[in-house]
Structure 1
Amino acid sequence: MPTFDLDDFTPYRLALLSARISRRFAAIYGPKFGLSRAEWRILAHLSQEAEVSIREIARRVDMDKSKLSRATARLETRGLLTKTPNPEDRRLLQLSLTEEGRAMIAELAPLAQAFEQEVHDALGPDAEAFDRAIRRLSAAAE
């Protein structure tokens, strides 16, 4: 009868790896910018598009609505993003970065790129294969 070894269970290993890498990066931006991981993820997504709905961010970052709502409220209080009703459906809120939010992302982006390079350096020649594997796993998980 096959045995189950949690330490060899790929989904478990991926979850642990993701959490560890996320914590390492948070240790870089957290103290410098006073951001939680949830806040970083929101700002990062908003940096990619002019306006994004809260629903879309929740889907993309796989974050529950209450955590997302609290994080966006903190970011709004800090003047880093604005919330506006969606003109087509007033129940939905659109988020966008303020000038202050864009300035913060401009400072954060080089840190993110340097951290990503560290991760790629740790993978060495396997970095491209790892990226391809992540894309395949992400597509399969949808």
Structure 2
Amino acid sequence: MTQKKHRTLMLNQFLPYRMVNLADGISNACSKIYREEFDVSIPEWRILARLAEHEKLNAKDIGDLTFMDKSRVSRAVKLLEEKGLLLKVKDSTDNRASFLSLSESGRDLYAKIAPKALDWEAELIDVLDTVEYRDFLRVMEKLDARLEKMKG
């Protein structure tokens, strides 16, 4: 009878752990741009950015696109509404749902934050050469695709 060799999980070499820490670190560091200067939280920024891309979305779509749960989206939407950054229009086919879009103030705020976020991203990835950056994006796409298959 052969015994299975014991495998040790080294957390600092475990891809899920490293990816989560990297993503959290990047998100938190980048959030200083809009949190400190514009008083916008990470969930609020994600919603502003998605609405800038899509113009009009309901809360469920925002949750799906931003990978945030329903309650987090709801709290962020409420704060954005209170700040006058969102417009809310009832869905004519479903009275329980509303479509959200950026108000003029929301579009103005996005226009101020986006260039700063892009500059921050450029500084972060400046450590990578063109090939490393391309390969990194390709690796992330491959892992995303594999994860979708594994979900079933």
Note whether the superposition's TM-score is higher than 0.5.
yes
Matched, 1:134 2:140: yes
TM-score (norm 1): 0.94
Which residue does the alignment assign to 1:44? 49
Instruction: Please report the RMSD computed on the Cα atoms of aligned residues, expressed in angstroms.
Output: 1.2
Which residue does the alignment assign to 1:70? 75
TM-score (norm 2): 0.88
Which residue does the alignment assign to 1:98? 103
Deviation per CA, 1:49-71: give whole Å up to 9, x if none. 12011101101111111111011
Deviation per CA, 1:104-131: give whole Å up to 9, x if none. 1111111121112122212234111111
Q: Distance in 2 between matches of 1:139 and 1:104?
A: 34
Percentage of identical aligned residues: 39
Deviation per CA, 1:7-55: give whole Å up to 9, x if none. 1110110000000000110112211110010101010100001201110
CA offset at residue 96 of structure 1? Answer: 0.2
Q: Distance in 1 between matches of 2:27 and 2:134?
A: 20
Which residue does the alignment assign to 1:59? 64
CA offset at residue 136 of structure 1? Answer: 2.0
Q: Quick check: 52-61 or 82-91, which moved more?
A: 82-91
Which residue does the alignment assign to 2:35? 30
Q: Distance in 2 between matches of 1:140 and 1:107?
A: 36
CA offset at residue 90 of structure 1? Answer: 2.0
Q: Distance in 1 between matches of 2:95 and 2:127?
A: 47
Q: Distance in 1 between matches of 2:25 and 2:141?
A: 20
